[in-house]
């Protein structure tokens, strides 16, 4: 949930500079948790000066006084806090759940609400232009919605609506007096308006039958030959603008399903380039969109964020659509992005199946509305860069119109004042959100770390996974502001510099030729090599620009666990499993196969192998096994064997030899 790149924090910025390691936090604030203490209290105890929530790392001077672990202010203990809510005892505040759990959730009192909690509102925008309909995606989306209408997060007030668009925008009126939904077409996309003030967003429970009728009808209404002429235009910009007006009054989630750019709408106009350049920052296209166009989508997102609306995008495209520009709408509204290149129900059924599975998760996962997250740290530490999808409202406050359990964030830290007099420092992330049931809650995560006085203490306590996760997000920023080549060089330096610094801390005469790596960083060279071969940063391999951009966006917005599977998948052999050494779960022995190196030498023609990439699982069946089907998709596994040599990249052995040369 909450981890630091350094598990022992240097006591000065000079020491941090000396060890050459990145210092930051990676946070998964809304992670699905199997056990989460929930407290309902009339008064939530916080520091009167810095507003830190009371936590296990405060110190009680006596039962009626406690010292804040962030700013060290002494606070009075509220009378109510002296009563234990579970044991019903009195006078032992340090035993309360708030002081014994580093992650806890409060049911917020009235003072934490600017307005009454709003109902969950979902507005789905679906591209019905010719190229979109040809993919067959509309049937998949409508079927998934029909299957999961009852699982959409919300309560009896939940509202839902639908817009479709091609060269025009189509509204669907679902009122009680109608036997079936009524489609209203607005063709003046230069001056969009809402054609009727009512029954475009309807109560899901009260109008469920009409919603189901519409979802059954949409694939039949919009077919590739439903009309005499082929509509190849996509008024996405107009649809987003009117969706903002429609949903903005109550907040919620706007879900866009575009396949190509808005070609017909002046304010969101983008020219599609059918060429696919490979290099550059985002990979600058020959006809890059102007700053004005990109700023348009950013402004749209900020307007949505101010109205507590998030924009989630699902991209299906076989040609270049400039995801870099469109993604601004999701990035600054705290939305989500999904990408299915060349999806087609007939020609690419794998992507179609993946969309169906992803929608199952997307439509039923927990969600928080009207969210803000503030990160606090001990006096002397400072926050200077955030990573993820959000709008920064102030130096330590993120505005998140929506928060979901698959969203991750990171932050870079610096040491402004010496921590010499401290034995430990603390960090706290507080997420204030509204549940889909309309309840205001505060989820608080607190982390406490010791202070290190020597380089050895720092090097022996590095979280390698957190380091690589943070470096990947920083490398994406460098790619955008400079170039991919600069980002690759920065990642190499981020590996070489700490190892040089570590070697200097070893006693003279102990070091000979070789690569000296502290145990905590033993996997860093492997992970850096994986990043250099990742689709986001690789060179010398033909990579479609939108593929590269989405790979970068994924690294920016994924939590550490998901990101690491994306960077370095786990490979297992699964055709010779044994119960020996397995785990016992509910009385059953679950085999635990060994993780294999990501190299072709780990494979055999007679074996079956599982590649775990986090969001995707691949099974490779050897050609000599009875189940072999000689699939044309074998390259999906073989391309992830990052420890092998390719025409444009080194093997792991060659990479380590090259690293040794850089260290001498």
CATH classification at residue 603: 3.40.20.10
Q: Report yes or no on 429 lying in a domain.
A: yes
Q: Concatenate the DSSP letters of all residues of 444-474 into one string.
A: EEEEEEEEE-SHHHHHTTB-HHHHHHHHHHH
What does the alpha-carbon distance between residue 9 and residue 447 come to, in Å, rounded to a whole number? Answer: 12
Residues 348 and 207 in one domain: yes
Cβ within 8 Å of residue 298, ≥6 positions away: 328, 329, 332
Largest CA distance in the chain: 89
What does the alpha-carbon distance between residue 478 and residue 485 come to, in Å, rounded to a whole number? Answer: 9
Mean pLDDT by 10 residues, the chain (664 residues): 97 97 98 94 92 97 93 94 86 92 94 85 92 92 96 92 93 89 92 89 94 95 68 84 80 50 32 30 45 85 91 90 92 93 93 94 94 96 95 91 95 96 97 93 98 96 98 97 96 96 85 82 97 95 93 96 96 88 82 93 94 92 80 87 93 95 89
* pLDDT of the residue at 276: 28
- State phi, psi for 553 to the nearest 5 degrees: -60, -40
Q: Report yes or no on 2 lying in a domain.
A: no
Tell me the HSE value of 537 on the side-chain side, using a 13 A CA sphere. 29
The last residue of a domain, from among 344, 364, 384: 364
DSSP label at residue 278: -
Residues 526 and 619 in one domain: no
Residues 561 and 587 in one domain: no
Both structure tokens of 514: 């070789």
Residues 14 and 88 in one domain: yes
3-class DSSP assignment, residue 166: coil
Domain count, the chain: 4
- Domain interval for residue 548: 462-566+647-664
Q: Report yes or no on 1 lying in a domain.
A: no
Residues 455 and 553 in one domain: no
What does the alpha-carbon distance between residue 371 and residue 30 come to, in Å, rounded to a whole number? Answer: 11
Task: Please name which of 376, 424, 537 lies closest in space to residue 27, comparing C-alpha atoms.
Answer: 376
Residues 35 and 70 in one domain: yes
Cβ–Cβ contacts within 10 Å for residue 212, how many? 14
Residues 83 and 201 in one domain: no
The last residue of a domain, from among 404, 437, 461: 461
Residues 311 and 392 in one domain: no
- Lookup result for tokens 């969706």: 243
Residues 416 and 473 in one domain: no
Sheet of 65-67: strand order equals 59-62, 65-67, 74-76
User: Residue 103 in contact with residue 34, Cβ under 8 Å?
Assistant: no
The last residue of a domain, from among 438, 461, 484: 461
Q: In this structure, are strands 103-107 and 38-40 parallel, antiparallel, or unpaired?
A: parallel
Q: Report yes or no on 188 lying in a domain.
A: yes
Cβ–Cβ contacts within 10 Å for residue 576, how many? 10
Residues 274 and 254 in one domain: yes
Chain CA centroid to CA 305, Å: 17
Residues 518 and 471 in one domain: yes
Task: Please name which of 223, 326, 220 lies closest in space to residue 268, comparing C-alpha atoms.
Answer: 326
Give me the helices (H) in 316-413, please.
323-326, 328-331, 349-364
> The domain spanning residue 664 has which CATH number?
1.20.120.730
Residues 424 and 491 in one domain: no
Both structure tokens of 196: 């009727």
> The domain spanning residue 214 has which CATH number?
3.40.50.410
> The domain spanning residue 386 has which CATH number?
2.60.40.1670
């Amino acid at each position: 949930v909450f981890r630091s790149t350094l598990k022992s924090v240097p006591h000065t910025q000079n020491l941090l500079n000396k060890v050459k390691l990145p210092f930051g936090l990676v946070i998964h604030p809304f992670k699905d948790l199997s056990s989460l203490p929930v407290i309902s209290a009339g008064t939530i105890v916080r520091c009167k000066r810095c507003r830190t929530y009371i936590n296990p790392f405060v110190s009680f001077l006596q039962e009626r006084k406690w010292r804040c672990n962030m700013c060290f202010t002494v606070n009075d203990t509220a009378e109510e806090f002296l009563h234990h809510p579970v044991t019903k005892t009195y006078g032992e505040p340090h035993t309360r759940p708030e002081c014994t759990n580093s992650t806890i959730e409060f049911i917020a009192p009235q003072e934490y609400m600017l307005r009454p909690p709003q109902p969950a509102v979902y507005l789905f925008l679906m591209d019905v232009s010719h190229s979109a309909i040809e993919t067959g995606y509309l049937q998949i989306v409508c079927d998934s919605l029909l299957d999961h209408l009852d699982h959409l997060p919300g309560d009896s007030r939940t509202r839902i609506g639908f817009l479709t668009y091609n060269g025009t925008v189509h509204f669907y009126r679902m009122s009680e007096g109608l036997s079936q939904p009524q489609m209203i077409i607005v063709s003046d996309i230069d001056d969009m308006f809402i054609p009727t003030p009512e029954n475009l967003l309807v109560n899901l429970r009260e109008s469920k039958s009409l919603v189901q009728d519409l979802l059954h009808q949409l694939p039949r209404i919009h077919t590739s030959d439903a009309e005499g002429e082929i509509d190849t235009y996509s008024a996405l910009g107009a649809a987003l603008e009117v969706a903002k007006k429609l949903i903005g009054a109550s907040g919620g989630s706007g879900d866009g399903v575009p396949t190509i750019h808005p070609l017909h709408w002046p304010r969101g106009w983008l020219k599609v380039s059918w060429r696919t350049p490979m290099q550059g920052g985002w990979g600058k296209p020959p006809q890059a969109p102007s700053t004005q166009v990109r700023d348009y989508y950013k402004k749209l997102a900020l307007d949505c964020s101010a109205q507590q609306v998030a924009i989630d995008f699902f991209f299906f495209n076989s040609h270049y659509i400039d995801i870099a520009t469109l993604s601004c709408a999701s990035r600054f509204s705290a939305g989500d992005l999904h990408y299915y290149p060349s999806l087609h129900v007939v020609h690419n059924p794998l992507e179609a199946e993946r969309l169906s599975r992803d929608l199952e998760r997307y439509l039923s996962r927990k969600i928080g509305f009207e969210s803000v997250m503030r990160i606090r740290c001990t006096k002397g530490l400072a926050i200077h860069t955030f990573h993820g999808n959000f709008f920064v409202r102030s130096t330590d406050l993120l505005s998140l119109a929506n928060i979901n359990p698959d969203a991750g964030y990171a932050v870079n830290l610096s040491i402004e004042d010496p921590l010499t007099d401290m034995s430990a420092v603390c960090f706290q992330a507080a997420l204030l959100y509204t549940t889909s049931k309309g309840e205001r809650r505060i989820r608080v995560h607190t982390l406490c770390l010791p202070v290190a006085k020597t380089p050895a203490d720092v090097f022996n306590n590095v979280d390698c996974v957190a380091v690589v996760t943070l470096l990947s997000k920083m490398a994406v920023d460098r790619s955008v502001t400079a170039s991919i080549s600069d980002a690759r060089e920065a990642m190499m330096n981020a590996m070489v510099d700490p190892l040089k610094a570590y070697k200097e801390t070893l006693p003279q005469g102990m070091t000979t030729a070789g690569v000296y790596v502290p145990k905590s960083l033993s996997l860093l060279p492997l992970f850096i090599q994986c990043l250099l071969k990742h689709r986001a940063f690789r060179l010398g391999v033909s990579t479609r620009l939108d593929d590269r951009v989405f790979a970068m966006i994924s690294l920016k917005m994924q939590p550490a666990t998901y990101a690491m599977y994306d960077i370095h998948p786990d490979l297992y052999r699964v055709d010779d499993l044994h119960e020996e050494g397995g785990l016992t779960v509910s009385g059953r022995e679950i085999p635990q196969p060994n993780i294999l190196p990501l190299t072709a030498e780990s494979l055999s023609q007679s074996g079956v192998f599982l590649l775990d990439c986090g969001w995707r699982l691949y099974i490779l069946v050897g050609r000599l096994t009875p189940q072999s089907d000689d699939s044309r998709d074998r390259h999906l596994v073989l391309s992830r064997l990052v420890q092998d040599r390719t025409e444009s990249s080194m093997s792991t052995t060659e990479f380590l030899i090259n690293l040794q040369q850089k260290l001498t």
